[in-house]
């Protein structure tokens, strides 16, 4: 009995579609890339419901003929390669000819297109991979691809889509990766009728500012280098503007966004000693290498690349960034360290000043001052503490019923990190950061902080990327409940006039950046509620950190607050806050 079937094209395309277009962002990427391949100078993206109901891309590129407008939806229909050899000299983003076939298999598609010299354009309507209509239409030169009801015939995929905010943030990331490599093309991004980005054609720095905010103009240093094997061009953040996350790190090779841990490490290595712990630089760096020196078999959704010369690239990239940081820090160094140089006597008549000679100190570190005040805090004198304090495995957690006895016992801080205090059941070792996180989290969840909100002496202004600003706007009611007073100033700017106690003004922007990022991350992964993920994120950042010296009163307050929490033994992220060393263990 024969059992082998050839799958009908429609089924094969649906299966292939799963690879290319696994979520709305995948379709957006393909459509934007096609528009760029068509030589467009203006590309407009319009979305509804995070791409679920509508994705529309309009370009002013070369357009298609009547018959190409039908053919482009066939599998392996491409104008970009003709023979296998062409694979080694690809200059376009797409070349496999499967994106449109895939999209057409899982959505309702309308294509309007006109070539420059054609009298009129053509309109093609597709449903379930079949052309249901084609007729002439009046339209400007270029192409508009309208994709409606993505996954309408693939319920499994549709049901796996995440909340709109999540899908939208994937689309934005796609948009950033594409628009960053093509600052010479103008782009716009409209979601549910609201224009979120309007990016004029210009240089890379202008594009970075358009995407991330105007303040990036002052935050970036330019990085440039040219050698036989690579040309490097881009921007990297000044050390003072490092971030607590690796979010804004973009590497491009030959006009494509890539992920390459080794090259990313090269950039971060250049910042060694310039950044406080757990801070990361932002960077937007493009490399141009001979295409025959990289692995060309690039899968449409993959971002990994292999280089023949990866060790050399590592060294070149690191030194290029290092050079930049060294050069630019010169100005800061002069103004801090040699103020007396500015008492310059007037030059005698007829004196020609010699050409200035510039030297700089490559080891310059803005975080190191002459004293040691900015070095990580250390316990002033730890001779009184055990040399190494081995933490015993957690035996039994005190239940909240066994708090320190009524009269506050003395507390001791060990290694700037643990609070040690005697209990009836032994010695409690409390992780100060986790404990404080627990206390803050419970307060935020109970919205008790609103009562203890403090007015700021000077309001603090915060601004975000357009999409983050939108999300932030949505979260404002929650934040007000926690004791923040925040007013939207229009555009992407907000002004904070009050905060729960304990929030540092200087950290406000970073606090919110981190909160937004974690909130987006949390809604992508767990099913934690909105308030849970917000409170956990805020608590994590507002908490005192390991290494922070505490006074006797602060320690006692923290211990008392902690034992008042119903879930005292766990931090909100589920880590142990307390370990008990039993009397017999102390004896040993
Ligand atoms: P690929 O981009 O890999 O060639 P696609 O399925 O994305 O495959 O597109 C198929 C073909 O349709 C392209 O090769 C191109 O000739 C044509 N095409 C698609 N989008 C556009 C557009 N916006 N403008 C002009 N031609 C386009
Ligand atoms: Mg394509």
pLDDT band at 170 (very low <50, low <70, confident <90, very high): very high
Structure tokens at 18: 């799963």
| Distance between Cα 286 and ligand 2 center (Å) | 22
Give me the pLDDT at residue 81, please: 63
Residue of the CA atom closest to atom 21 of ligand 1: 34
Question: CB under 8 Å to 89, separation ≥6 — which residues?
Answer: 291
Residue 344 lies in a domain: no
Residue of the CA atom closest to atom 23 of ligand 1: 35
Report d(CA 388, CA 102) in Å as an integer. Answer: 61
> Quick check: CB of 97 below 6 Å from ligand 1?
yes
Tell me which ligand sits closest to the C-alpha of residue 36: 1
Residue of the CA atom closest to atom 1 of ligand 1: 97
- Quick: pLDDT tens for 527-572: 467 788 888 888 988 899 888 889 999 999 999 889 888 788 888 8
**Residues constituting the chain:** 588
Question: CB under 8 Å to 371, separation ≥6 — which residues?
Answer: none
| Distance between Cα 206 and ligand 1 center (Å) | 29
- pLDDT: which is higher, 91 or 396: 91
Report d(CA 44, CA 35) in Å as an integer. Answer: 10
Residue 312 lies in a domain: yes
Residue 338 lies in a domain: no
- Which of 360, 282, 285, 278 minimizes the C-alpha distance to 317? 285
CATH number at residue 498: 3.30.1370.100
Note whether 207 and 63 are within 8 A (CB). no
> Quick check: CB of 56 below 6 Å from ligand 1?
no
| Residue with the two structure tokens 């059941």 | 425
Structure tokens at 237: 């953040």
| Per-residue pLDDT at 362 exceeds 70 | no
Segment among 76-90, 340-354, 444-458 with least mean pLDDT: 340-354
| Distance between Cα 455 and ligand 2 center (Å) | 54
pLDDT band at 343 (very low <50, low <70, confident <90, very high): very low
Q: Are residues 105 and 188 in the same domain?
A: yes
| Per-residue pLDDT at 398 exceeds 50 | no
Q: Are residues 196 and 271 in the same domain?
A: no
| Distance between Cα 151 and ligand 1 center (Å) | 21
- Stretch 212-221: mean pLDDT: 90
Q: Are residues 92 and 118 in the same domain?
A: yes
- pLDDT: which is higher, 305 or 430: 430
- pLDDT: which is higher, 240 or 11: 240
| Distance between Cα 179 and ligand 1 center (Å) | 19
Average pLDDT over the chain, rounded to whole?
A: 81
Report d(CA 64, CA 203) in Å as an integer. Answer: 30
Question: CB under 8 Å to 291, separation ≥6 — which residues?
Answer: 88, 89, 90, 254
Give me the pLDDT at residue 451, please: 65
Segment among 103-117, 209-223, 516-530 with least mean pLDDT: 516-530
Note whether 47 and 192 are within 8 A (CB). yes
- Quick: pLDDT tens for 486-496: 988 888 899 99
- SS3 of 400-430: CCCCCCCCCCCCEEECCCEEEEEECCEEEEE
pLDDT band at 328 (very low <50, low <70, confident <90, very high): low
Q: Which helix (H) or strand (E) holds 386?
A: none
Structure tokens at 154: 């693939």
pLDDT band at 227 (very low <50, low <70, confident <90, very high): very high
- pLDDT: which is higher, 451 or 558: 558
Q: Are residues 248 and 155 in the same domain?
A: no
Segment among 48-57, 317-326, 450-459 with least mean pLDDT: 450-459
| Cα 189–chain centre separation | 18
Q: Are residues 188 and 87 in the same domain?
A: yes
Ligand 1 atom closest to 81 (CA): 4
pLDDT band at 115 (very low <50, low <70, confident <90, very high): very high
- N-term to C-term CA, the chain: 77
Q: Are residues 180 and 230 in the same domain?
A: no
pLDDT band at 389 (very low <50, low <70, confident <90, very high): very low
Its domain, for residue 228, covers: 211-328
| Residue with the two structure tokens 């406000």 | 508
Report d(CA 205, CA 282) in Å as an integer. Answer: 13
Give me the pLDDT at residue 82, please: 63
> Quick check: CB of 80 below 6 Å from ligand 1?
yes
| Per-residue pLDDT at 97 exceeds 90 | no
- Stretch 502-531: mean pLDDT: 78
Note whether 204 and 179 are within 8 A (CB). no
Q: Are residues 123 and 182 in the same domain?
A: yes
Q: Are residues 176 and 216 in the same domain?
A: no
Tell me which ligand sits closest to the C-alpha of residue 102: 1
Segment among 91-100, 177-186, 363-372, 574-583 with least mean pLDDT: 363-372
Tell me which range, 28-32, 326-330, 365-369, 489-493, is most confidently predicted by mean pLDDT: 28-32
Give me the pLDDT at residue 442, please: 86
pTM for this entry:
0.60
> Quick check: CB of 300 below 6 Å from ligand 1?
no
| Per-residue pLDDT at 580 exceeds 50 | yes
Report d(CA 79, CA 68) in Å as an integer. Answer: 9
- Stretch 464-474: mean pLDDT: 90
> Quick check: CB of 25 below 6 Å from ligand 1?
no
Q: Are residues 324 and 450 in the same domain?
A: no
Give me the pLDDT at residue 337, please: 31
Q: How many domains does the chain have?
A: 3
> Quick check: CB of 34 below 6 Å from ligand 1?
yes
- Quick: pLDDT tens for 23-50: 999 999 999 999 999 999 999 999 999 9
Residue 145 lies in a domain: yes
Report d(CA 193, CA 9) in Å as an integer. Answer: 36
| Per-residue pLDDT at 408 exceeds 80 | no
> Quick check: CB of 206 below 6 Å from ligand 1?
no
Q: Are residues 239 and 277 in the same domain?
A: yes
| Distance between Cα 534 and ligand 2 center (Å) | 39
Domain boundary among 328, 349, 373: 328
Report d(CA 54, CA 267) in Å as an integer. Answer: 39
Q: Are residues 183 and 231 in the same domain?
A: no
- pLDDT: which is higher, 75 or 62: 62
| Distance between Cα 544 and ligand 2 center (Å) | 50
Give me the pLDDT at residue 585, please: 82
> Quick check: CB of 78 below 6 Å from ligand 1?
yes
Residue 399 lies in a domain: no
Structure tokens at 266: 């090269």
- Stretch 295-302: mean pLDDT: 60
Give me the pLDDT at residue 299, please: 58
Q: Cα torsion at 477, 481, 482, 488 (round to 10°)?
A: 30
pLDDT band at 384 (very low <50, low <70, confident <90, very high): very low
| Distance between Cα 34 and ligand 2 center (Å) | 5
The CA-CA-CA angle for residues 445, 451, 454, to 5°, reads 110
Residue of the CA atom closest to atom 7 of ligand 1: 99
Residue 426 lies in a domain: yes
Q: Are residues 61 and 192 in the same domain?
A: yes
- Please state whether beta strands 283-288 and 249-253 pair in parallel, antiparallel, or not at all (unpaired): parallel
């Amino acid at each position: 009995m024969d059992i082998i079937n050839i799958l009908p094209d429609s089924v094969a395309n649906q299966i292939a579609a799963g690879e290319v277009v696994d979520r709305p962002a995948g379709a957006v990427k393909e459509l934007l890339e096609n528009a760029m391949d068509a030589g467009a100078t203006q590309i407009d993206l319009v979305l509804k419901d995070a791409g679920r109901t509508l994705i529309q891309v309009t370009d002013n590129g070369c357009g298609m003929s009547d018959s190409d407008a039908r053919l482009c939806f066939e599998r392996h229909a491409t104008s970009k390669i003709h023979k296998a050899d062409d694979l080694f000299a690809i200059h376009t983003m797409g070349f496999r000819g499967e994106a449109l076939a895939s999209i057409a298999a899982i959505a309702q598609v309308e294509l309007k297109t006109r070539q420059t010299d054609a009298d009129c354009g053509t309109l093609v309507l597709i449903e379930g991979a079949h052309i249901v209509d084609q007729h002439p239409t009046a339209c400007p030169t270029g192409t508009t691809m309208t994709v409606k009801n993505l996954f309408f015939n693939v319920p499994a995929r549709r049901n796996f889509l995440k909340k709109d905010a999540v899908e939208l943030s994937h689309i934005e990331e796609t948009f950033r990766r594409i628009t960053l490599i093509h600052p010479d093309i103008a782009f716009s991004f409209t979601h549910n009728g609201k224009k979120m980005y309007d990016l004029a054609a210009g240089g890379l720095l202008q594009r970075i500012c358009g995407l991330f905010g105007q303040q990036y103009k002052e935050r970036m240093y330019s990085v440039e280098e040219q050698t036989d094997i690579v040309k490097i061009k881009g921007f990297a953040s000044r050390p003072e503007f490092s971030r607590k996350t690796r979010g804004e790190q973009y590497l491009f090779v030959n006009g494509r966004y890539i992920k390459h841990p080794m090259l990313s490490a090269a950039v971060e290595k250049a910042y060694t000693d310039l950044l406080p712990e757990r801070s990361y630089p932002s960077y937007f760096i493009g490399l141009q290498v001979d295409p025959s020196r990289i692995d060309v078999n690039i899968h449409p959704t993959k971002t990994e690349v292999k280089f023949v010369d990866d060790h050399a690239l590592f060294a070149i990239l690191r030194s290029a960034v290092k050079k930049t940081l060294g050069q630019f820090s010169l100005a800061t160094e002069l103004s801090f360290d040699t103020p007396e140089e500015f008492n310059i006597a007037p030059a005698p008549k007829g004196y020609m000043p010699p050409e200035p000679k510039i030297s700089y100190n490559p080891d310059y570190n803005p975080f190191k001052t002459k004293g040691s005040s900015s070095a990580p805090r250390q316990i002033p004198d730890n001779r009184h503490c055990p040399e190494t304090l081995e933490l015993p495995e957690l035996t039994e957690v005190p239940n909240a019923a066994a708090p320190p006895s009524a009269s506050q016992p003395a507390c001791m801080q060990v290694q700037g990190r643990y609070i040690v205090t005697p209990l009836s059941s032994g010695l409690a070792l409390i992780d100060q950061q986790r404990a404080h996180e627990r206390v803050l989290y419970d307060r935020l969840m109970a919205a008790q902080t609103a009562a203890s909100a403090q007015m700021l002496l000077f309001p603090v202004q915060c601004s975000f990327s357009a999409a983050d600003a939108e999300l932030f706007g949505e979260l404002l009611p929650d934040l007000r409940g926690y004791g923040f007073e925040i007013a939207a100033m229009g555009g992407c700017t907000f002004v904070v006039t009050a905060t729960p106690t304990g929030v540092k003004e200087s950290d406000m922007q970073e606090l919110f950046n981190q909160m937004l990022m974690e909130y987006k991350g949390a809604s992508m992964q767990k099913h934690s509620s909105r308030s849970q993920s917000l409170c956990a994120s805020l608590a994590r950042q507002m908490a005192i950190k390991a290494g922070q010296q505490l006074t006797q009163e602060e320690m006692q307050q923290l211990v008392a607050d902690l034992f008042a929490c119903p879930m005292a033994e766990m931090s909100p992220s589920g880590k142990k806050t307390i370990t008990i060393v039993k009397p017999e263990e102390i004896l040993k």
